[in-house]
A and B are shown apart, each in its own frame.
Chain A
Amino acid sequence: MGNGVGSEWIRLIVGLVVVLAFSQLNALFLVWLERKVAGHIQLRPGPKEVGPFGLLQTIVDGIKLVGKELITPRPADRKLFMVAPVLVFMPVLVGFLVLPFGPDMIIRDMNIGVLLVFAFSTFGVLAILAGGWASNNKYALLGAVRSVAQNIAYEIPLLLSVMSVVLMVNSMTFSQIVNSQQSIWFIFLQPVAGLIYLICATAETNRAPFDIPEAESELVAGFHTEYTGMRFGLFFLAEYTNMFIVSAVATSLFFGGWQGPFGFSLGIPGVVWFLVKTYVLIFVIMWVRWTFPRIRFDQLMNFSWKVMIPLSLANLLVTAVVIKLI
């Protein structure tokens, strides 16, 4: 890639532009995919009028959202209220910096890549709390408070399951983790960790069946009740981009990243493998949303503290013992 400071800057800027464009296109595609999957699972077609197969529906919805009035309730805390949607979207974009899209396609291959993604995704919770509190609305506040409790509870088994993989690879660098899955994907070596990761990732992104904070039918709209127009659009986009990041991390950690099965790429470029696997995982998350009812809040907390955490701790222990013995 050349040497000197100039080429590094160029790489960074190109990477940023690509990331921004990709996150928007991705959100567009995912909203359409969600509505189509939801439709067909419910034996109806989903959007199909706007554009071929309804593909332009999201764009048109975005235009509609932009045209709506941005209302700030008078008793709301103005600064926090306006900052919250921006705060929820920014950390998600940071997560793109370390994802291994292909063998040479990481914007910044940091040696704490895994830590970076999870540290920044926790910011989203702060933004939700800020939004809920600043709305001066008891439903929003309840949604935000529940979201904080849920996120904290499910962050622990999430990180513990990731630690099992990191223990095996002995590094937090994404490219090394993907490279060491050449012979066999980690999902076969660590099925329990993979399952726990997927469940906790669904909970972390506030997706059903763990979507109490948004609780469409219970809390009006949870923490984003008072948000209108593009501010709501930002929360929405952030949720789908978060889903992508979390699935991309799952592919890199458990499903071999950009490699084909058993290291054979079958002539297909690494990026395509990576994206296909990520979108299959996203489809699974959507499939789960339209299958199960929402979990009650106490069931949610019980599940995390009594089932997820002991299981992930046991898994970590067994991994450590096995690694020591081998």
Chain B
Amino acid sequence: MGYFKDILEGGWSLVEGMRVTLRRLYKPVVTVQYPRQRVVLSPAFRGPIELVKFEDTGTHKCIACGNCEKTCPSGVIKVQGVKQAAKGPKVATQYFIDFSKCSLCGLCVEACPTNTLKFSSDYELVGVSRADSSADLLAKLGESKA
């Protein structure tokens, strides 16, 4: 008797399985057809680092303190700054990140005292040589004091 029960129960489970896949057949696809549609990124997405353009000053607030350079575990940041006035803060004149070694860990973003670093939401990054991975963040912001 167990023989027939096995056959019937097993057979019914097969039918139920086929019902599941049939229902899947006319559900819409969940893939995103990439070049024509893009995925909606969450605000927590970690793209390559860039400088924030603040609204009140219209520029970055990097004071070239070097915290990010010291914190970075891979040593990819190079900052240089110059004092604008005798008793004022420094302003960054050069800011380079070598993205071929950046692991997007975010320690620099956390360490920055003026919150002038942030993650971008850029992912379409293609380069044809190793030089393409070294980015000048000040030039990206629109000002270069190189």
CB contact under 8 A between A41 and B21, given known A292-B14, A307-B7: yes
The distance in angstroms between the C-alpha atoms of A81 and B24, with both chains bound, is: 41
Interface string of A38-80 (1 = CB under 8 A from B): 0111111100100000000000000000000000000000000
Indicate whether B20 reaches chain A with its CB closer than 8 angstroms: yes
A-chain residues with CB within 8 Å of residue B33 when the two chains form the complex: 45, 48
Indicate whether A29 reaches chain B with its CB closer than 8 angstroms: no
Chain B 1-34 residues near chain A, CB threshold 8 A: 7, 14, 17-18, 20-22, 24-27, 29-31, 33
B-chain residues with CB within 8 Å of residue A45 when the two chains form the complex: 29, 31, 33
Among A44, A287, A307, which residue has its beta carbon within 8 angstroms of that of B29? Answer: A44
CB contact under 8 A between A287 and B7, given known A40-B29, A44-B31: no
Q: Interface size bucket, B side?
A: 10 to 19
The distance in angstroms between the C-alpha atoms of A288 and B18, with both chains bound, is: 7
The distance in angstroms between the C-alpha atoms of A21 and B14, with both chains bound, is: 37
A61 smallest CB distance to B (angstroms): 21
The distance in angstroms between the C-alpha atoms of A37 and B14, with both chains bound, is: 19
The distance in angstroms between the C-alpha atoms of A45 and B7, with both chains bound, is: 35
The distance in angstroms between the C-alpha atoms of A39 and B21, with both chains bound, is: 11
Is B30 within 8 A of A291, CB to CB? Answer: no
**Per DSSP, are chain B's interface residues mostly helix, strand or loop, or mixed?**
helix
Among A44, A287, A307, which residue has its beta carbon within 8 angstroms of that of B21? Answer: A287
Indicate whether A236 reaches chain B with its CB closer than 8 angstroms: no
Q: Interface size bucket, A side?
A: 10 to 19
The distance in angstroms between the C-alpha atoms of A42 and B24, with both chains bound, is: 7
Indicate whether A120 reaches chain B with its CB closer than 8 angstroms: no
The distance in angstroms between the C-alpha atoms of A40 and B24, with both chains bound, is: 7
The distance in angstroms between the C-alpha atoms of A307 and B26, with both chains bound, is: 34
Is B7 within 8 A of A292, CB to CB? Answer: no
Is A291 within 8 A of B29, CB to CB? Answer: no
CB contact under 8 A between A44 and B30, given known A287-B22, A307-B7: yes
Indicate whether A290 reaches chain B with its CB closer than 8 angstroms: yes
B22 smallest CB distance to A (angstroms): 7
The distance in angstroms between the C-alpha atoms of A287 and B21, with both chains bound, is: 8
Interface string of A278-300 (1 = CB under 8 A from B): 00000000011011100000000
A305 smallest CB distance to B (angstroms): 13
**What is the chain A residue whose CB lies nearest that of B19?**
A291
**What is the chain B residue whose CB lies nearest that of A39?**
B29
A-chain residues with CB within 8 Å of residue B21 when the two chains form the complex: 41, 287, 290-291
Is A43 within 8 A of B17, CB to CB? Answer: no
The distance in angstroms between the C-alpha atoms of A40 and B30, with both chains bound, is: 10
B-chain residues with CB within 8 Å of residue A42 when the two chains form the complex: 24
The distance in angstroms between the C-alpha atoms of A40 and B31, with both chains bound, is: 11
B-chain residues with CB within 8 Å of residue A44 when the two chains form the complex: 29-31
The distance in angstroms between the C-alpha atoms of A41 and B26, with both chains bound, is: 8
The distance in angstroms between the C-alpha atoms of A307 and B25, with both chains bound, is: 31
A194 smallest CB distance to B (angstroms): 14
B127 smallest CB distance to A (angstroms): 26
The distance in angstroms between the C-alpha atoms of A48 and B31, with both chains bound, is: 13
A-chain residues with CB within 8 Å of residue B27 when the two chains form the complex: 43
The contact sample of 13 A-B pairs, CB cut-off 8 A, is: A39-B29, A40-B26, A40-B29, A41-B24, A42-B24, A43-B27, A43-B29, A43-B30, A44-B31, A45-B29, A290-B21, A291-B17, A292-B14
Closest 8 CB pairs between A and B? Answer: A291-B21, A44-B31, A43-B30, A45-B29, A41-B21, A291-B17, A41-B24, A40-B25
**A contacts, CB < 8 Å to B:** 37, 39-45, 48, 287-288, 290-292, 307
Q: Identify 8 new A-B residue pairs, CB closer than 8 A, beyond the known A41-B24, A45-B33, A307-B7.
A: A40-B29, A43-B24, A287-B18, A287-B22, A288-B18, A290-B21, A291-B20, A291-B21
